Structure 1
Amino acid sequence: MNHPSTISDDEFARHAGLPPGSRLREARLANGLTVTAAEVPDARWQRLVGAVNVGYLDEPDDCRGLAHLLEHALFLGSAGFPGAGELARWVGQRGGRYNARTDETVTEVHLHLPPADTDEGLARLVDMLARPRFEPGLVAHEVEVLEAEFRARLADPALHRLAALGRLCREGHPARHSHAGNRNTLGTDASRLAARLTDFHDHHYRAGLMALVMLGPLPLEAQLEQLTRHGATLPTGAVPSPPRTWRWAQPGGVAWHPPAASPGASALELFWPLPEEQAATHTDWLAAVAARLADGGLAATLQATMELDRLEVTLEPVGLGSALALSLAPTPDEETVQAMLATCCAALEQASVATLPAPSVSAADLDAWPRRYARQLPGSTERIPRGEALEESSLLPWLTPQQCRLLWQAPAASGRWKTLTETGTRWRPQPSLSEGVALPSRAPPDLCVRPRREDTDTTTPRELPRNEQFRLWCGKPARMRDTTPTSLCLGWPTPTSQLGARLCQWRQNTLPLRQAALERGLQLSCGGDARGDWLIVSGGADRLCSLAELALACWPEQATLPPCDPPTGLLAQRLLSQLETSAPRVEQAGALPMLGWVSDEQDAGAARAMLDCLAERLSAVPNLMAGTTPHEAREEIDGTRWLPPQGNDHVAMLEVAGPDDTPRNRWLLCLLAQCHDAAFQHEMRQRRGLGYVAAVRYREASGAPRLGYVVQSPHAEIDGLRQAIADFLTQQSEALACLTAAEMERRKRGLVAYAGYPETQTETIAQLWQALRRHAAMKNASPPWQPLPWEAESQALAALHADSLLDLAKDLAAGRLVQRWWLHQPR
């Protein structure tokens, strides 16, 4: 094994965007497998990813969905672990997570595990990739699961987006067709399908086309030893496959919308496809172009004349291969589309030829990093280290307005629309060459630099003298092991009425500001819940107060726009999201004063001034706080809620509220969800055959820990779904939660990864701020952050006993916990 370059492990990690103190090493084994180990000392989880260089573009034309079916079939058992659902059971017992995904060129499986379970988890992951079992009866069942999934996803705009995208691809190319996979495209001959899965697996699942990536706190050398030992068992080499051909037809555009378009839902994607080899050799230059487009200037330019909720720039667009892409919303009409197109093309031309600064490496998302890295590795022969100077002029012809493709999710309106037979997607050609005039360019928001004294970093956390209108703390209760940024947090009471719309408008107002902040290494987070609204700013101290002041100036006292996030994802996912946003009972939420926290005492004066100004704004708006009374703003959780019709499936979710917001009860609910989830899936999907989605999930929102038991079915009626969930709880709730002391300790060890020291600076600040808000709402007499929130969580977890979990399960089965039904049925 050889290191891919001469740079050190820590420098390699820094170039790859990992946190300070990390080490990274990559190697290729004798069988052709690429392995990557990332040691991140502050990580609590060990993340494992197995990726294969095969996706739906590699499927045979007469068996669309085969790659997706193979991804599902990997979980039906392997030679070493033959039980179907064995991985789900094993991971669940250890408090971990797992998932898998198939896209156009890569299939990947990922696990999150406590570090102590890494070796066995890697053995199970490699065995399922190398030696899956394709028993025809189980394969036939999985085809029905894919059929139900396909029907369920007909309500998800993401499926229709990919279907419309195919209209921009060449005739005869695999990318032109839907590859979701269903009963019609796969057929119902289970023995034939099992044979085709075997052939497809033998051809593609070879070490030379695969990668294993691991990220976590284990030492780099231990990670590499495990990766090498288990990776060596994968089949050697790679069977040559025909090269993937260029998918795109001549530049053009497509307008589309789902068969039942959501009122007002609209979005515009502009993208410039790039040759893969050239894009790979110009990674830094392309990143610099993308950073210039996302520095706040383009967003400010567009917002000067139109509403703009979202402007995202990416080099990893979903379903587009190698491309530079912009996503913008909303785009309600042709005139707006033309103005955006002209303005974005002009901005890209300027960004492509101007002298660009090297983009700063943003803080790593530890969940996403190993998956993204693994997806870049299969089949690659050499990685080019960052920082090498390369000639970018060869890419300039690919970034002209003439090479732009356009994908417009248009509002449903009159006009001549075509319909795709398989998905029902409505579409029509849309010109991609702009006839509009680019808007006058505007500069990004200016963040003023303020001189500061040298930070001695000795401030002890304490509350400053109280003001009758607010409370303010200063100091750093905890530090990350690497350098902690300066932070400033402010919160104030607000009505829960119009909460979603108000936050949506606030985020719209701050879009250019958030982009300008990121370009300067700062972060801005705007949030709200039943306790009120808040903002968190963190990063370089010299611009911190300026960022906070500008963000407060953007806060709307009252929303004038509806919520701007159109529904996406499966209906069951949309219902589960309600657990994080719906208002809890007032006694759980607690009243909250205006409050602030600054990590550096030098910012205390500025924070006081901002809170004073905010208090004047709140008092000057008549009836602004009228909605904060318990009866008007925070309804009881009891009752039934109906989701507006958004698809053809029936969905039922039982929401169960925890007794209170203490760490003890949060952990008990987490444990109960773990004990119930696998059995609930088996009962609803396998034994009762109700549908594609059946899950038990734990969620929290503003002082209300809760569980959701959700089932989505293409055929069962609402009353049947409700009865199935109720039967499960009365018949199995207690038995599944009746653990021996040894079983309880094992599950608690699995949950330790949730309770440890924060993994990132962002997580540290967020946990401390929410702990302070909880402390203020509960009017706790003890000092805030005593103990630190993660220490309190760890202590509560260690003190749990099996009989407490059983008592909670009995209360749930007997209906003694507060509950509410969330339901959906077709029109």
Structure 2
Amino acid sequence: MNHTSAVSDDELARRAGLPPGSRLLEARLVNGLTVSAAEVPNARWQRLVGAAGVGYLDEADDCRGLAHLLEHALFLGSADFPGAGELAGWVGQRGGRYNARTDETTTEVHLQLPPAATDEGLVRLVDMLARPRFDPGLVAREVEVLEAEFHARLADPALHRLMALGRLCREGHPARHCHAGNRATLGNEGSHLAARLADFHGHHYRAGRMALVSLGPLPLEAQLELLMRHGMALPTGDVPPRRAWRWAQPGGVAWHPPMPQTGASSLELFWPLPDEQAIAHGDWLMAVAARLADGRLAATLQAAIELDRLEVTLDPVGLGAALALSLAPAPDEETVQAILATCCSALERASVAALSAPPVPVADLDAWPRRHARQLAGSAEHAPCGEALAEAALLPWLAPEQCRLLWHAPAASGLWKTLGETGTRWRPQPLPTERVPLPWRAPPVLAEHRPQASAEDPTPRLLYRDERVTLWHGEPLRLTAPPAASLCLGWPAPASTQSARLFQWRQNLLPLRQSALAQGLQLVCGGDARGDWLIASGAAKRLGSLAELALACWPPLPLPCPSDPPAGLLAQRLLARLEASTLGVGRAGALPMLGWVSSDALGEAAQTMLDSLAERCSTHQTSETCHEANNDGNDTLWLPPQGDDHVAMLEVAGPDDSPRSRWLLRLLAQCHDAGFQQEMRQRRGLGYVAVVRYREASGVPRLGYVVQSPHTEAGELRQAIGDFLAQQGEALTHLTAAEMERRKRGLLAHAGSPETQAEAIDQLWQALRRQASLSPPPLPWPPLPWEAESQALATLHADSLLELAKDLAAGRLSQRWWLHQPR
């Protein structure tokens, strides 16, 4: 190891955006591997990521999709763990998760495990990365999986976006082609493909261009020792040559899928950057991006355009090193020109007046190690050398004439070209020569109010209550010192107009949310079957102003809204619907006007806002009870045609929203998932997606049993799901007491204390909302939700799980079918 640094491990963690109290260490091993350990004391899970600096741009032209196939093949068994489904079973038994991702330059595999499983988890992760087995028969089978997935992806705009993006790349560069992989690009001769995979793996999966990252509660030194010990098993090798610059001359492309969705449009503007300079000046680029996202640009555009979304990123999908802006909608050429001129002008301003102290985003503990591993795996060949480059060297790359434009345009009349492999429609989109930006608008101003003096007693207590409003005060848990103040408000709202209301509210809030973030404040707004709500957190002196402005943006009588274009596989889209479902929720009742402040210094402002909101809701008659739009019957809902595959999903709601029901459904998903996949995919051969997944909506647990097939009709898929539950559903839950205890131990990490302050506030607030919806509501503050969850898990017995399986097989639980037939 040759790790030297003058920066403390906690300072490294702060700069990397990890939660307060974290520590971070990185090292380079003698075999060339980069390892990074992050100690996050409040983390419940240990996240392990192995990444290699190889992606689909490294494939040979005669075998496109090989990197994607290799990602699949890593899970088909390794030298010490030869079973094709062994990793899935091992992770599932411990209540963990696993997945993988291949992009243009990196491939990563990630595991989420209980901390006690870290050592063995690294053994398995390193073995699959270093010594995978390429069984020809299994490889040939995976090609068929990729074939089915490719055809399903033809309904996903993300695939067509990448194809259109290729039109902006140089002739002859691999980025111009589709690399999803299918039978036509890979062939289906297992022995030949197994040999190609072995050669590709042996050439690219070398320690010099790989990284291992660990994040969790284990002591920093222990994590680093494990990474170093296991990482030495990865083969030493030289770093391959640097990839060629992919981009052609600056220009633009308009595109849309073969079957476009009415009204769907968006615009991406991006400035590609040399890897060395992007790495050397990452902090400065973050400051530039923060200035672009400080609310001023959003306010300026929204004054002239009904802007729904403005995202600024230095990690855009499919673009490599670049500064990118993504905006929607962009319905016509005039709008595109106005956006382009204004964004280019904003970037010029930001480049000379970057935000001096960019806000540190709330750490996403799932995403952070994955992103960090990809950066480390891809940076070895691009690490800056010699003297640091001056920031001025980046300015020519951020000039307006270096902008590239990607317009997801409506399917209007005009001359469109078609890409044969995917059917993507596209045409060149010339960049305007004259650019006149829109008149600049100031971002929303957050007024400062000196909070009242407060004793700051953190003990939860009722601060105010009358016939309309209930207001709580207290802070049952503090994970940071000093903690940020928080203010939460919730109120009843009609379920029938919720989708349109939340869409319009978030649109209205765009400049405010960005302006708040630039000042270190967080604003989270949402809604569910119990009503609408907001959470504001940060410095107490501006929270009242932030909440007032957010409420002023709330539309009690929303206009009809466009829907976002569908993305991902159909099965993924259906599973996402479970998180907003009303099935089984209405029984809990509607939510009264409710508030919770962490400090009673914010109490008067919160009470005033709730009283005003009560009058507003009454005026607009928004007190429709949530359960009026709910139907617990055995409905069958048909999705509008969105692709060429057949899909069936059975949604099952738990008996109630108690911790006991949540644990039982999690356990049921664990018991059924592997058997369901085996029955639907291997034995019946119905489809390439067959999973059981746990979700929650308004606290009510639910399961989704989903199968996606390119050939079997939805009615037959529905019958197969029903047969599985009737014939195998109970048998798979006949657990011994010892097996039940082992599975419960695997779920303990789900029941621990929150990992971040933001998670703690969210859990406490949603628990308070659930209690407030009861009639009559109990007065005491509810118990800490994670403690209630742990107690409920400890009391479960195998008989309880079996009874739930019997109720499901007999149709005694609330159910709903979701079906899709091709066009």
TM interval, short-chain normalised: over 0.9
1:306 deviation in Å?
A: 1.1
Matched residue, 2:597: 598
Is the CA contact (8 Å cut-off) linking 1:42 and 1:217 kept in structure 2? yes
Answer yes or no: is 1:86 the counterpart of 2:82: no
Structure 1 residue matching 2:464: 3-state secondary structure: coil
Matched residue, 1:767: 763
The correspondence of residues 732-811 of structure 1 with structure 2, limited to 5 A, is 732-779=728-775, 782-811=778-807
Matched residue, 1:571: 570
Matched residue, 1:262: 261
Is the CA contact (8 Å cut-off) linking 1:485 and 1:539 kept in structure 2? yes
Answer yes or no: is 1:673 the counterpart of 2:669: yes
Question: Could you tell me how far apart the structure 1 residues matched to 2:486 and 2:564 are?
Answer: 28
Structure 2 residue matching 1:36: 3-state secondary structure: strand
Is the CA contact (8 Å cut-off) linking 1:718 and 1:825 kept in structure 2? yes
Matched residue, 2:705: 709
1:685 deviation in Å?
A: 1.8
1:440 deviation in Å?
A: 0.6
Structure 2 residue matching 1:733: 3-state secondary structure: coil
Question: Could you tell me how far apart the structure 2 residues matched to 1:685 and 1:6 are?
Answer: 54
Question: Could you tell me how far apart the structure 1 residues matched to 2:232 and 2:780 are?
Answer: 51
1:393 deviation in Å?
A: 0.4
The correspondence of residues 468-479 of structure 1 with structure 2, limited to 5 A, is 468-479=467-478
Is the CA contact (8 Å cut-off) linking 1:505 and 1:559 kept in structure 2? yes
Amino acid at match of 1:392: E
Question: Could you tell me how far apart the structure 1 residues matched to 2:143 and 2:766 are?
Answer: 45
Question: Could you tell me how far apart the structure 1 residues matched to 2:352 and 2:636 are?
Answer: 58
Structure 2 residue matching 1:498: 3-state secondary structure: helix
Amino acid at match of 2:104: E
The correspondence of residues 47-58 of structure 1 with structure 2, limited to 5 A, is 47-58=47-58
When residues 637 and 370 of structure 1 are mapped into structure 2, their CA distance, relative to the original with a 3 A threshold, is farther
Amino acid at match of 1:628: T
Question: Could you tell me how far apart the structure 2 residues matched to 1:20 and 1:720 are?
Answer: 53
Amino acid at match of 1:571: L
1:785 deviation in Å?
A: 4.1
Structure 1 residue matching 2:361: 3-state secondary structure: coil
Structure 2 residue matching 1:80: 3-state secondary structure: coil
Matched residue, 1:102: 102
1:443 deviation in Å?
A: 1.4
Matched residue, 1:553: 552
Is the CA contact (8 Å cut-off) linking 2:266 and 2:327 kept in structure 1? yes
Matched residue, 1:217: 217
Question: Could you tell me how far apart the structure 2 residues matched to 1:547 and 1:324 are?
Answer: 29
Structure 1 residue matching 2:43: 3-state secondary structure: coil
Amino acid at match of 2:325: L
Question: Could you tell me how far apart the structure 2 residues matched to 1:317 and 1:792 are?
Answer: 40
When residues 122 and 528 of structure 1 are mapped into structure 2, their CA distance, relative to the original with a 3 A threshold, is same
Identical aligned pairs, as a percentage? Answer: 75
1:628 deviation in Å?
A: 2.8
Matched residue, 2:398: 399
1:696 deviation in Å?
A: 0.5
When residues 285 and 185 of structure 1 are mapped into structure 2, their CA distance, relative to the original with a 3 A threshold, is same
Amino acid at match of 1:802: A
Matched residue, 2:180: 180
**Aligned residue among 649, 656, 662 for 1:660:** 656
Answer yes or no: is 1:439 the counterpart of 2:445: no
1:739 deviation in Å?
A: 1.1
Residue-by-residue CA offset, 1:717-752 (whole Å, 9 max, x unaligned):
111111111111112111211111111111111111
Matched residue, 1:229: 229
Matched residue, 2:298: 299
The correspondence of residues 396-545 of structure 1 with structure 2, limited to 5 A, is 396-433=395-432, 435-452=434-451, 456-545=455-544
Structure 2 residue matching 1:448: 3-state secondary structure: coil
1:657 deviation in Å?
A: 1.1
Residue-by-residue CA offset, 1:467-487 (whole Å, 9 max, x unaligned):
222111111122215432110
Question: Could you tell me how far apart the structure 2 residues matched to 1:796 and 1:463 are?
Answer: 26
Is the CA contact (8 Å cut-off) linking 1:269 and 1:327 kept in structure 2? yes
Residue-by-residue CA offset, 1:276-307 (whole Å, 9 max, x unaligned):
10111111111111000000000000010110
When residues 170 and 344 of structure 1 are mapped into structure 2, their CA distance, relative to the original with a 3 A threshold, is same
Is the CA contact (8 Å cut-off) linking 2:454 and 2:600 kept in structure 1? no
When residues 604 and 295 of structure 1 are mapped into structure 2, their CA distance, relative to the original with a 3 A threshold, is same
Matched residue, 1:26: 26
Structure 2 residue matching 1:271: 3-state secondary structure: strand
Residue-by-residue CA offset, 1:376-409 (whole Å, 9 max, x unaligned):
1125349989xx9862100100111110000000
1:3 deviation in Å?
A: 3.1
1:433 deviation in Å?
A: 3.5
Question: Could you tell me how far apart the structure 1 residues matched to 2:4 and 2:801 are?
Answer: 50
Residue-by-residue CA offset, 1:259-278 (whole Å, 9 max, x unaligned):
11111111000000001101
When residues 688 and 483 of structure 1 are mapped into structure 2, their CA distance, relative to the original with a 3 A threshold, is farther
Question: Could you tell me how far apart the structure 2 residues matched to 1:563 and 1:634 are?
Answer: 23
Matched residue, 1:143: 143
Matched residue, 1:644: 640
Question: Could you tell me how far apart the structure 2 residues matched to 1:2 and 1:586 are?
Answer: 56
Matched residue, 2:192: 192
Matched residue, 1:719: 715
Matched residue, 2:308: 309
Question: Could you tell me how far apart the structure 1 residues matched to 2:598 and 2:776 are?
Answer: 21
Matched residue, 2:171: 171
Residue-by-residue CA offset, 1:728-785 (whole Å, 9 max, x unaligned):
1112111211111111111111111111000011100000110000001123664554
Is the CA contact (8 Å cut-off) linking 2:255 and 2:425 kept in structure 1? yes
Residue-by-residue CA offset, 1:80-103 (whole Å, 9 max, x unaligned):
000001101110111000000000
Is the CA contact (8 Å cut-off) linking 2:298 and 2:510 kept in structure 1? yes
The correspondence of residues 62-81 of structure 1 with structure 2, limited to 5 A, is 62-81=62-81
Structure 2 residue matching 1:605: 3-state secondary structure: helix
Amino acid at match of 1:67: A
Answer yes or no: is 1:628 the counterpart of 2:641: no
Question: Could you tell me how far apart the structure 2 residues matched to 1:703 and 1:143 are?
Answer: 39
Matched residue, 2:616: 617
Amino acid at match of 1:159: L
Is the CA contact (8 Å cut-off) linking 1:401 and 1:433 kept in structure 2? no
1:612 deviation in Å?
A: 1.2
TM-score (norm 2): 0.98
Is the CA contact (8 Å cut-off) linking 2:529 and 2:586 kept in structure 1? no
1:455 deviation in Å?
A: 5.7
Structure 2 residue matching 1:524: 3-state secondary structure: strand
Residue-by-residue CA offset, 1:309-357 (whole Å, 9 max, x unaligned):
1000000000000000000001111111111011101100111122541
1:17 deviation in Å?
A: 0.8
Amino acid at match of 2:465: R
Question: Could you tell me how far apart the structure 1 residues matched to 2:65 and 2:382 are?
Answer: 31
1:691 deviation in Å?
A: 2.0
When residues 355 and 414 of structure 1 are mapped into structure 2, their CA distance, relative to the original with a 3 A threshold, is closer
When residues 433 and 278 of structure 1 are mapped into structure 2, their CA distance, relative to the original with a 3 A threshold, is farther
Is the CA contact (8 Å cut-off) linking 1:261 and 1:411 kept in structure 2? yes
Matched residue, 2:811: 815
Structure 1 residue matching 2:495: 3-state secondary structure: coil
When residues 311 and 74 of structure 1 are mapped into structure 2, their CA distance, relative to the original with a 3 A threshold, is same
Q: Gaps (5+ residues) in structure 2? A: none
Is the CA contact (8 Å cut-off) linking 1:475 and 1:601 kept in structure 2? yes
Structure 2 residue matching 1:645: 3-state secondary structure: coil
Question: Could you tell me how far apart the structure 2 residues matched to 1:530 and 1:174 are?
Answer: 47
Residue-by-residue CA offset, 1:688-723 (whole Å, 9 max, x unaligned):
222221111111112421110001111111111111
Is the CA contact (8 Å cut-off) linking 1:295 and 1:444 kept in structure 2? yes
Is the CA contact (8 Å cut-off) linking 1:21 and 1:482 kept in structure 2? no
When residues 783 and 234 of structure 1 are mapped into structure 2, their CA distance, relative to the original with a 3 A threshold, is farther
1:414 deviation in Å?
A: 1.4
**Aligned residue among 692, 695, 708 for 1:696:** 692
Question: Could you tell me how far apart the structure 1 residues matched to 2:690 and 2:95 are?
Answer: 18
